[in-house]
A and B are shown apart, each in its own frame.
Chain A
Amino acid sequence: MQSYYTLIASLPQLPREFDDGPIPISAATLRHRVSMLDHHDRQIVQQVSDFFRWDRQPRDRSDVEIRETHRRLVAEIRHPLVAQVVHHRFEMRMLVAALRCQRGGLPPPVFPDLPLAVWIQRHWDEPCFRLNERFHWLARFCQAIEDHQPRRAQWHLFTELWNHWSRLNDQYNFSFESVVLYLARWEILHRWASQNEQRGRQRFNDLVDDILRTGGVNC
């Protein structure tokens, strides 16, 4: 029986909100800590990491390619929580893609094989595809798009993901699922922080100033 006490306890607490402060652990340190897992768990973590890397895709991928990736992932992924994380992320991507097409007056894109796709196609001409009740973030997201505020729209997406994964995390304690959800939430932190170059540069300068002021570096 694999035990996760050491790994979970070695991971620093994530902030309460994803836009609340710096990332508490670097990518290199996180990789090093995750290397405590056994081979089987590392493979699952690799699947999660690969998915997130793919999720940061360049925009020139075709709908058919995305659909094929979804099919491949559904066939490959065996861990129920990882499947749930991927499913939830695909649903959000699909909604965002559908909204963009709808606003641009384009026909519905080629969707992955998900039950939600049928619903969206059936309600294509209706505002927010009549999904406001099921996806509460959708109205706020649409409003941000209408206000030409892409960063705010992204913030709403990340807030939904962050809250969903934080709620899931509350169900687990010192288990592999906690590790997966930690990685998923760390990914949001990292993506959000990567978007804010100006703030990153300011923080770096502040850190350098702090070190120089306290004499932390001996030349």
Chain B
Amino acid sequence: MDEPMVEMLGRIGIYAPLFLGAIGSILGCAAGGQAACGAMLDVEGGYGRLIGVSALPSSQTIYGIVVMLSMNGSYQIQAAPGMFAIGTLCGLALLFSGWFQGKCCASAIHATKSKPEVFGLSVAPAAIVEGFAVFAFVFALILAGGLPSAAGGS
């Protein structure tokens, strides 16, 4: 493969976690936010916590930023395929976790609306999904650290 093409793959790998993580956050926060707006039409109080729950999928963008910055140091061309693989796959995990966490948040909002006492438990599925995003994030950092000349790498 040509060197510019390989370099481009490396650049995609650097930006992918943020790009895909942000898409996940957009989809997730939109789903949760819309559900929160709908629920606010039907309840008389507790609006703040509805909006708070709907913002949970924002964290995927933050994880994406951190992974992107960790790989954005000076790197050798040999590291580009590895960066592409790690960045893209981590980004995909962040995208899906953000999207489906938003669905969990919407369900939590819907359940809380009719039964406020289940608020804490109803958020648990969203927290579990968040846990998987954290796994993808942490291991992306560890693997990126092992790439030649990547930040912290050998």
Residues of A within 8 A of B (CB): 3, 5-13, 33, 173-174
Contacts and interface: CB of A to CB of B under 8 A. Distances in A.
Given A3-B31, A5-B31, A174-B35, A33 B106 contact: no
Given A3-B30, A33-B41, A174-B35, A9 B114 contact: no
Contact of B42 (A3, A12, A174): A12
Contacts, number: 48
B30 A6 contact: no
B61 to A, nearest CB: 20
B97 interface: no
Interface in B70-118: 103, 106-107, 109-110, 113-114
A8 B110 contact: yes
A5 B106 CA distance: 7
Contact of A10 (B39, B107, B114): B39
B40 to A, nearest CB: 8
B38 interface: yes
Interface string B9-41: 000000000000000000000111011111101
Among B36, B37, B106, find the residue whose CB has the most chain A CB atoms closer than 10 A.
B106
7 contacts: A6-B34, A8-B35, A9-B36, A9-B37, A9-B106, A173-B103, A174-B110
Contacts of B32: 5
Interface in B25-67: 30-32, 34-39, 41-42
Nearest to B39: A9
Interface of B: 30-32, 34-39, 41-42, 103, 106-107, 109-110, 113-114
Top 10 nearest A-B pairs by Cβ distance? A9-B38, A5-B34, A10-B38, A6-B38, A13-B114, A10-B41, A9-B35, A5-B35, A6-B34, A9-B39
B34 A12 contact: no
Nearest to A25: B42
Contact of A9 (B30, B34, B103): B34
B42 A10 contact: yes
A176 to B, nearest CB: 14
B23 to A, nearest CB: 14
Given A3-B30, A5-B106, A173-B107, A12 B38 contact: no
A8 B38 contact: yes
Contacts of B107: 173-174
B139 to A, nearest CB: 31
A37 to B, nearest CB: 13
B37 to A, nearest CB: 5
B145 to A, nearest CB: 39
A7 B34 CA distance: 8
B38 A5 contact: yes
Contacts of B37: 6, 9-10
A128 to B, nearest CB: 39
B42 A11 contact: yes
A174 B41 contact: no
A3 B34 contact: yes
